[in-house]
């Protein structure tokens, strides 16, 4: 048993209300703040009808306040409802708390609501949404939102997050779900890259094959053949300086020709968001590589 450092007495009292440990002989306070190592709440099973916990959700950049906001309630510390002057004072404080939020906070709130909607429509993970929120916060710090559309910048930030994580989403996909012109998103994306000095890796064209094949209704066997053709082209250095989506679409068309699957250049071009001319230009190069392998 712990002794009192003042008188050496072994009888120490614990005050669970104040968190103090006091000597029962001389009254010396041994500890002012006692650590409670027990769980915060007892975990009730579902059969018992309750599951209580005081731990909240983790902080998130995709929330305007990062999940750390304080909401002024209408009850005091003991849980009793406020009444009279206290209630009026709490109402006034709540109003002033709301008014004290600056334009940047309101901007961020609106942008992150839009981000959540776009990420859901594009079937993107929370990690990519977090990355996009981080990029937009940097955009806000740089003051790039002045005179520019919030929706355009948050869409461009999400596209930048997809590019940095090598997630196959195109500008056309972003424009389709956001209702913003493709050239406007591209312009905002270039601005973000320049001002934030982001280093975005080149998209792997193999990752785009599956999505294009699904939209064009191409079989699994032909899709695998297209991936093999594309990997051979990359190994031969034929992908340097060429758009990944165009290469993926061309490899699918070449695979369809070899496997005897009836798909036109127009069908695949529409599914990939490229022109038929692009497929015809890339087709010659891929076929030459395939013949040389």
Task: Write the pLDDT tens digit of every residue in 212-248.
Answer: 898 889 999 999 999 988 888 888 877 777 788 888 8
| Residues 211 and 182 both lie in one domain | no
Q: How far apart are CA 175 and CA 156, in angstroms?
A: 10
| Residue 141 domain flag | yes
> Please, what's the b/e burial string for 31-47 (b: 16 or more CB within 10 A of its CB; e: otherwise)?
eeeeeeeeeeeeeeeee
Q: What is the dihedral of CA 86, 88, 90, 96, to 10 degrees?
A: -150
Domain hosting residue 32, numbered range: 1-36
Q: Are residues 1 and 29 in the same domain?
A: yes
Q: How far apart are CA 160 and CA 149, in angstroms?
A: 17
Q: Give the H or E element holding residue 29.
A: strand 29-31
- The larger pLDDT score, comparing residue 267 to residue 79, is at 267
* Count of domains forming the chain: 3
| Same domain flag for 255 and 176 | no
- Are the CB atoms for 75 and 96 separated by under 8 Å? no
Nearest to 251 by CA among 204, 202, 189: 204
Mean pLDDT for the stretch of residues 242-261: 88
Query: Among the three residues 176, 196, 216, which one is the final residue of a domain in this structure?
Result: 196
Please give the Cα distance from 229 to 272 (Å, whole number): 17
Taking residues 116-121, report their average pLDDT.
Answer: 91
DSSP state of 131: H
Confidence (pTM): 0.59
For the cut 60, the answer to whether the pLDDT of residue 188 exceeds it is: yes
Is there a single domain that holds both residue 121 and residue 177? yes
Q: What is the gyration radius of the CA atoms in the chain, in angstroms?
A: 30
């Amino acid at each position: 048993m712990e002794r009192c450092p003042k008188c050496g007495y072994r009888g120490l009292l614990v005050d669970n209300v104040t968190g103090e440990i006091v000597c029962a002989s001389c009254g010396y306070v041994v500890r002012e703040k006692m650590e409670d190592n027990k769980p915060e709440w007892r975990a009730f099973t579902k059969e018992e009808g309750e599951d209580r916990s005081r731990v909240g959700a983790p902080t998130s950049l995709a929330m305007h306040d990062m999940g750390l906001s304080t909401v002024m309630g209408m009850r005091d510390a003991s849980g009793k409802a406020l009444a009279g002057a206290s209630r009026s004072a709490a109402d006034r404080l709540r109003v002033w708390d709301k008014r004290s939020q600056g334009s940047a906070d309101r901007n961020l709130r609106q942008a992150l609501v839009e981000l959540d909607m776009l990420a859901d429509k594009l079937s993107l993970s929370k990690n990519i949404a977090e990355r996009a929120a981080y990029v937009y916060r940097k955009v806000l710090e740089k003051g790039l939102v002045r005179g520019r559309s919030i929706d355009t910048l948050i869409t461009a930030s999400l596209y930048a997050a997809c590019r940095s994580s090598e997630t196959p989403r195109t500008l056309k996909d972003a424009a389709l779900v956001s209702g913003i012109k493709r050239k406007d998103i591209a312009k905002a994306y270039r601005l973000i890259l320049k001002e934030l000095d982001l280093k975005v890796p080149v998209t792997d064209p193999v990752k785009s094959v599956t999505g294009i094949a699904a939209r064009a209704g191409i079989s699994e066997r032909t899709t695998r053949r297209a991936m093999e053709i594309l990997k051979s082209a990359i190994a031969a250095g034929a992908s340097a300086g060429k758009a990944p989506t165009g290469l993926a679409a061309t490899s699918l068309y070449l695979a369809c020709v070899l496997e005897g699957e009836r798909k036109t250049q127009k069908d695949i071009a529409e599914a990939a968001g490229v022109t038929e001319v692009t497929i015809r230009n890339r087709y010659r190069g891929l076929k030459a590589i395939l013949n040389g392998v």
